[in-house]
Amino acid sequence: MHDFRNNVVATVGPRLAAQAADLFAELTDHEYDLLEVDADTYELQIRDAGVLHGMGRFSGSEVDLANLALRVAISEHVRFQAGGAVGLLVLDEVFGPLDDERKERMLLALERLRARFRQILVVTHENEIKEYL
């Protein structure tokens, strides 16, 4: 069973990392070189100006965007494994810590995600976001 787990992680890990990196680049307007996911621990790191940094170096909104990118990548992988049958993405209070520019980027990202998920449920207390959605 241990070998099976290692095989699954070796197969899935790089795919998740690539998907998360693509979405993170989109959300941050390519502000950083690359979002990387450690293959063993799944800890997130951001490569900025060629140097790899832990998440402690970045603002709360950047950390939230990185985590969101990984969660969406995991959701997409689950959907893929289920033959495309899983079509619901739930985002709970993802806009709260974001500045106005990042909120706008997040809304654009949600527009792009509409093509990947049948339904996206967004929980927010922000009236502007509610009205936009």
pLDDT in tens, 17-53: 888 899 889 888 899 999 998 877 778 999 999 999 9
Q: What is the mean pLDDT of the chain?
A: 82
Per-residue pLDDT reduced to its tens digit, 95-115: 877 788 888 878 887 887 777
- In this structure, are residues 34 and 46 in contact, taking their beta carbons and an 8 Å threshold? yes
Quote the pLDDT of residue 5. Answer: 58
| 66 three-state secondary structure | helix
Q: How far apart are CA 54 and CA 25, in angstroms?
A: 17
Q: How far apart are CA 102 and CA 65, in angstroms?
A: 9
Quote the pLDDT of residue 85. Answer: 60
Provide the CB-side half-sphere exposure for 104 (13 A, CA).
Answer: 3
Quote the pLDDT of residue 7. Answer: 66
Q: How far apart are CA 116 and CA 88, in angstroms?
A: 9
Per-residue pLDDT reduced to its tens digit, 46-82: 999 999 999 999 988 888 888 888 888 887 787 777 7
